[in-house]
A and B are shown apart, each in its own frame.
Chain A
Amino acid sequence: MKTLLRVKGIVKRFPGVLALNGVNFELQEGEVHTLLGENGAGKTTLMNVIFGLYKPDEGEIEIMGKKVQIKSPHDALKYGIGMVQQHFTLVPSFSVAENVILGLPGENLQDAVKRIRDISNTYGLDVDPNAKIWQLSVGERQRVEIIKLLYIGARVVILDEPTAVLTPQETKALFKAIRKMKENGTGIIFISHKLNEVMEISDRVTVMKKGKVVGTVKRGEFDQRKLASMMVGREVVMEVEREKAKPGEVVLKVDNVTAKSDKGHSALNGISLEVRAGEILGIAGVAGNGQRELAEIIYGLREVESGKVELLGEDITNKDVLYRILKGISYIPQDRKGVALSPNLSVAENLHLKRQTKGFFYNHDKVYKRAQELIKKYNIKTPSPDVAVKYLSGGNMQKVVIAREFELKPKLIIAVHPTRGLDVASMEFVYRSLIKARDEGAAVLLLAGELYEIFNLSDRVGVIYEGEIVGYTTPDPTPENIEKIGLMMAGVRA
C-alpha cells in the first residue's frame, strides 16, 4: 500500500492559542483514518492546514512521498486533496451541476449532468443534478459535496464530522459510499467524536487532544472504552447521578401550535407537548426540525400562527417576553454570544441584565458586589467582574448565563444545546445545574442534538421531526431504544 499523504511536525498558532503543537499524521491508499477528539482538540484546524485554508507556522506536508507547499485550496485540489467542510461550501441559488463545475476549466453543463448521474449510481450518492441546492436536505447537500470531490478524482477525501447532521439511516448510506471509495483506492480522513461510528468505519484511529496527537491505533487494537479514555484522558464515561423524577403539576402546555421559520417556511406544524414541574423532557431530533422555533414560541421571541401556549394554566400565547420572564420562564439559548449574552458588556453587567430594579439609575457597587457573590457561587473563572464577557471561555460564558437565569428561580427552563462546544468539566457543571433546578421543582425542556445528553438528563424523551413530536420513549441507552429514536428522527412514527 502506498502512502498518499504524510504531515510532519505541524504547528499552527492563532492569537493567544496554540491550535496545533507538532502534529504528525499519515494516510494510506484505500484506508479510512479517523481523527478523534473533543471540540477544540485541533482536528478541524489540522484538516484546514492540509486543505490549504490555513497556513501552518511550522512543519511539512508530503504527497506520495514528495514534499509540497499547499498555499490554497486550489493547490490542494491540484494534488488530489478534497475536503467536505462542516459548513458546506455550496452556492444555494445554483444547481447541483453548477456547483460541481464551479471553478473547473473547460467543463460544460450537459456533460457534467451525465457524469454526476454516473457517480451517483456508482457510489449510491442519490441526488438530482438539476436540483437547486436550497431545495435539498442537509443529507443531500453533503452528497453533493462528496460528488464534487469524486468528480475531480480526489485521492484524499477529508470528511469533517459528516455524520453530525445525518439521521442514522443517512449515516448508513454514507458509510456505504465510503466503503466504495475505499475499494477504488481513495484514502479517507474521517473526523468524528461519535465512538460507535468510529468503531464501525475506521481502519486506523488517531486521537488528538489540545492540539497534540495522543496516539494512533489500528483496527483490532481498540474498543470504545479505550478510545474514550484516550480522548478524555481518564477512564470515565461521564454519567451524572440523579434520583428519579417526581413530576408535579403541568407547568408548560403547548397545544397544537404552528409557526413559521425566519425564511417563512412552516417550522412548527401543530406541535403539542406538556412539561411538568420537577421533570426534564428531552427533545431529540436532527438539527433544523423546529427546535429553535419551539424554544422561541415558548419564550415569546416568535409569533405563533395558531394554537396555544399555556404556563401553569394561564394562556400566554400573546404575551410579550418581559411578561413571561416575570412569570418565571428562563431561556438558555443555543447562541451564547448573541442571544444569551451581550459580548462587550462586562460579566457583572451581563449578570444584572434580567434583574428588575426600581429607579432610573443602577447602583454599580451593588451590581458589582452581587456579581462577585455569583462568581463565587457558580465558580465562574474570570479575572474580575468588570471583564467583557466575550473574553471568557465557552464554559465560563455558559456559567454566566446559568447563574443569571437560575438566580431568577424559574418555574420553567428552556435549554437549547446547553453544552455545545463545552469541555467535559463544564458539561458536567451544566448537567448538575439542570438536575438541581429540576429537583427544586422547575420544569425543564431540553432541546439537544446529542443523544447521550438526552439520555444523561431526561426523564422522558420526545422526538421532533418537521415541527411535530413524532413519539415519546424512555431515556434508556439500549441499542433497541437508540434504533427506535433513530427511526423517529427520520420521521417514522412510533
Chain B
Amino acid sequence: MNIEGLITASVRLGTPLLFATLGEIITERAGVLNLGLEGLMLVGALSGFATSYMTGNVWLAFIVALIAGGLFALIHAFMSITLRVNQVVSGLALTMLGSGISGVLGKAFVGKPAAKFNDIYIPGLSNIPVLGAFFKMDAIVYLGYILVPVLYIIIFKTKLGLTLRAVGEEPSAADSRGINVFLVRYIAKGCGGALTAAGGAYLSLAATSMWIENMSAGRGWIAVALVIFSAWEPFKALVGSYLFGFVMSLQLRLQAMGVAHVSANILLMLPYLITVLTMILFSFNKNFRNRVGAPSALSVPYSREEKM
C-alpha cells in the first residue's frame, strides 16, 4: 500500500476530529461538559458552506463558521453556566438542535458546488520523501499543526491557562482569588465552540466542496471520546485524531479494494467500533479509570450560594 497516500488520507480525515477535540478540550478544561459537538460541527459545516457558496471566499467562509460555532455554543453556555441545567441533557439538546437547523436551512444547498481550500505545497518540506506528504495539504491542516503547540503553551505555560484550569479544577479557589468563574467559562465555551465548528467547516470547505445533510456522521461523538483518550492534552489529541483518521482511511481503502464478501456497512462501522473498543481497552488502564487529567469540576455547575 502507498504510504504517502495513507498519510494524506489519515491527516485529511483526522483534521475535523482534531479541531473538534481541541475545542472540547478548551471547554472541558474550564469545567463545562459539552456533548453538543455533533451539532456544532454541523452548524460550522453549513454556515461555512453557505458563505463559500454565496461569496466564493473560502477564508471568509471559515471565519463565518468560527463565529457561528462560537455563538451557537453560547446557547449551551447560557443553559449550563447561567441556568445550571444538567450539562448532559443540554449538550444532547444542542446536538439535536444543530442537526435539525442545519438540515432545514441546508435543503437549499444540497447538490450545489462551492469554492474549496486548495492544497499548498510547502517549498522544501514537501520534497522530503514520504514525510513530505504532511506538507502537501490545505491551509486548514497547517492551521491545525500550529494550533496544537499554541494551545499547549496557552493551557500549561501561561497565566491565562492557569486561570482556565483553576476554573475547571476548583472554581471556588478561582472565585476566592477574584477570578470571574462565569466569564471564564463563557469565553472558554465560545472559543471551544468556534474551534469545534471549524472542524465541521473543514468537511464542507476542504474535504469536500458540498453540503450533505448530517455530513459530520458521528465525528462529534468520536471527538468526545478522543478528549478522554487525550487526557485533555493537545498533543495527545493530535495523535489520537490522526490515528482515527487512519482508521477511517483504512475503511475507505478496504472498500475500494473490494474486500468482496464483507459488506460495506460493516466496514463503515469500523471507526465507531474502534471507538467503543478503545474505550473498553482504556478502561482496563488504572490511570484512565481514575481519570487522570480530568478537570475535577467537569460538568458541575458553579454557584456561590448553593446551600446543601
* Complex CA–CA separation, A14 to B176 (angstroms): 21
The interface residues of chain B lying within 8 Å CB-to-CB of A99 are 173
The interface residues of chain B lying within 8 Å CB-to-CB of A103 are 163, 166, 174, 177-179
The interface residues of chain A lying within 8 Å CB-to-CB of B286 are 264
Q: Does A65 belong to the interface (CB within 8 Å)?
A: no
Q: Does B304 belong to the interface (CB within 8 Å)?
A: yes
Q: Which of A78, A89, A93 contacts B176 (CB 8 A)?
A: A89
User: Interface readout for A20-35 with B: 1 if CB under 8 Å, 0 if not?
Assistant: 0000000000000000
The interface residues of chain A lying within 8 Å CB-to-CB of B307 are 14
The interface residues of chain A lying within 8 Å CB-to-CB of B163 are 102-103
Closest beta carbon of chain A to B202's beta carbon, Å: 33
Q: Judge whether B169 and A91 touch: CB under 8 Å.
A: yes
Closest beta carbon of chain B to A75's beta carbon, Å: 8
Q: Judge whether B170 and A77 touch: CB under 8 Å.
A: no
Q: Judge whether A54 and B290 touch: CB under 8 Å.
A: no
**Chain A contact residues: helix, strand, loop or mixed:** loop
Q: Judge whether A73 and B162 touch: CB under 8 Å.
A: no
Q: Judge whether B172 and A104 touch: CB under 8 Å.
A: no
Q: Does A98 belong to the interface (CB within 8 Å)?
A: yes
Q: Does A83 belong to the interface (CB within 8 Å)?
A: yes
Q: Does A72 belong to the interface (CB within 8 Å)?
A: yes
Q: Which size class do B's interface residues fall under?
A: 20 to 34
Q: Judge whether A94 and B172 touch: CB under 8 Å.
A: no
The interface residues of chain A lying within 8 Å CB-to-CB of B159 are 101, 107
Q: Does B251 belong to the interface (CB within 8 Å)?
A: no
Q: Which residue of B lies closest to A264 (CB)?
A: B290
Q: Judge whether B172 and A89 touch: CB under 8 Å.
A: yes
Q: Does B296 belong to the interface (CB within 8 Å)?
A: yes
Q: Which residue of A lies closest to B305 (CB)?
A: A54
Known: A53-B304, A93-B169, A94-B169. A73 touches B290 (CB 8 A): no
Closest beta carbon of chain B to A355's beta carbon, Å: 29
Known: A53-B304, A102-B163. A91 touches B173 (CB 8 A): yes
Known: A90-B170, A92-B296, A94-B166. A53 touches B305 (CB 8 A): yes
Q: Does A85 belong to the interface (CB within 8 Å)?
A: yes
Q: Judge whether B175 and A89 touch: CB under 8 Å.
A: yes
* Complex CA–CA separation, A264 to B292 (angstroms): 13
The interface residues of chain B lying within 8 Å CB-to-CB of A377 are none
Which positions 157-186 of chain B face chain A at CB distance < 8 Å? 159, 162-163, 165-166, 169-170, 172-180
The interface residues of chain A lying within 8 Å CB-to-CB of B179 are 74, 102-103
The interface residues of chain A lying within 8 Å CB-to-CB of B169 are 91-94
Q: Which of B173, B180, B304, B305 contacts A102 (CB 8 A)?
A: B173
Q: Judge whether B178 and A74 touch: CB under 8 Å.
A: yes
Q: Judge whether A102 and B177 touch: CB under 8 Å.
A: yes
User: Interface readout for A62-88 with B: 1 if CB under 8 Å, 0 if not?
Assistant: 000000000011100110000101011
Known: A53-B305, A264-B290. A73 touches B176 (CB 8 A): yes
The interface residues of chain B lying within 8 Å CB-to-CB of A73 are 175-178
* Complex CA–CA separation, A73 to B177 (angstroms): 7
Q: Judge whether A77 and B177 touch: CB under 8 Å.
A: yes
Q: Which of B170, B172, B173, B178 contacts A72 (CB 8 A)?
A: B178
The interface residues of chain A lying within 8 Å CB-to-CB of B173 are 88-91, 99, 102
Q: Which residue of A lies closest to B293 (CB)?
A: A93
7 A/B residue pairs, CB under 8 Å, sorted by A: A77-B177, A89-B175, A91-B165, A93-B296, A101-B159, A102-B166, A102-B174
Using A101-B162, A102-B174 as known contacts, list a sample of 17 further A-B pairs with CB atoms less than 8 Å apart, ordered by residue number in A: A14-B305, A53-B176, A53-B305, A74-B180, A89-B170, A89-B173, A89-B176, A92-B169, A92-B170, A93-B169, A98-B162, A101-B159, A102-B177, A102-B179, A103-B178, A107-B159, A264-B286
